[in-house]
Amino acid sequence: MTTWQAEPLPLFQTPEWARVVGVFDLETTGVDVRDDRIVTAHVGVLDADGHVIDARDWLADPGVEIPAGAAAIHGVTTARARAKGAPAAAVVSEVVEALRALFDAGIPVVAYNAPFDFSLLRNEAVRHGIPPIDAPSPVIDPLVVDKTYDRYRRGKRTLSHVAAHYAVPLESAHEACADAVAAGRLALALAERYAAWLPPTLDELHTRQIAWARAQAASLTEYFVKIGRLDATAPPIDGAWPIR
């Protein structure tokens, strides 16, 4: 991928990190970050206006059956993955390399519900003997940021619902490319909406999100116990971020 270098924005505009953002999304065989596998992946770069200036997509043969339920969501069947997908190890290696290039350039990578994508990618890397990204940084997670600055808004917090709330188009939901780009544009919308309150630097924003995610998990645990969805003696919801 092309290496992009962010340039500072004037102080009265949105945070400096909004000049250029990377985007990342996976579609998978399921939702278990330890055992499920990558089916499709997207890594790209957006400019400050949300225009795609670099992009790469992958289709993998995960080496296992793709459950019908997962295929119904992202549209990739086992037959298609086996016929047209690249070997899983090659895909994982290239995705890791593309993300490392962005991090090395100091470009933040946007991932909606980041612990899912980065944790699953890490476990896939370990599975295939590829040096994993153990501590991805800087990362921007629009889910965590939105829940921090609009905590009491009613309604679902899925990507499609939150994107609609901020008037960010999302076509072909549950395709890695569409979801990644929408998440990136959502991060830019959040940067504009909450510019006066967001941390001005990437390092501070990344660090703050670690604390915000932990607090959000604790609050959700408390709520689930209160309504009887979670036993008070059960382990709390894991709030580790951006990898669990």
Rounded Cα distance, 132 and 136, in Å: 10
pLDDT-derived band at 206 (thresholds 50, 70, 90) equals very high
Rounded Cα distance, 110 and 187, in Å: 7
With beta carbons less than 8 A apart as the criterion, state whether 163 and 210 touch: no
pTM of the model: 0.92
Query: In the predicted model, what is the mean pLDDT of residues 175-190?
Result: 97
Question: Could you tell me the CATH number of the domain that includes residue 52?
Answer: 3.30.420.10
Residue 9, domain member (yes or no): no
Query: In the predicted model, what is the mean pLDDT of residues 66-83?
Result: 95
Residue 242, domain member (yes or no): no
Query: CA-based angle 43:6:130, to the nearest 5?
Result: 35
Residue 43, domain member (yes or no): yes
Q: What confidence tens digit (pLDDT) does each residue in 127-140 have?
A: 999 999 999 999 99
**Predicted local confidence at residue 145, as pLDDT:** 98
Rounded Cα distance, 88 and 85, in Å: 8
Domain that holds residue 209: 16-226
How many independent structural domains does the chain possess? Answer: 1
Q: What is the CA 213 to chain-centroid distance, rounded?
A: 14
Residue 179, domain member (yes or no): yes
Q: Work out the mean pLDDT of the chain and round it to a whole number.
A: 94
**Predicted local confidence at residue 200, as pLDDT:** 82
Of 240, 244, 243, 242, which is closest to residue 217 (Cα–Cα)? 240
pLDDT at 70 over 60: yes
pLDDT-derived band at 8 (thresholds 50, 70, 90) equals very low
**Predicted local confidence at residue 138, as pLDDT:** 98
Residue 8, domain member (yes or no): no
- C-alpha distances in angstroms, 232 versus 163, 215, 219, 220, 227? 34, 17, 13, 12, 11
pLDDT-derived band at 13 (thresholds 50, 70, 90) equals low
pLDDT-derived band at 173 (thresholds 50, 70, 90) equals confident
Residue 137, domain member (yes or no): yes
Query: In the predicted model, what is the mean pLDDT of residues 90-99?
Result: 98
Residue 236, domain member (yes or no): no
Residue 244, domain member (yes or no): no
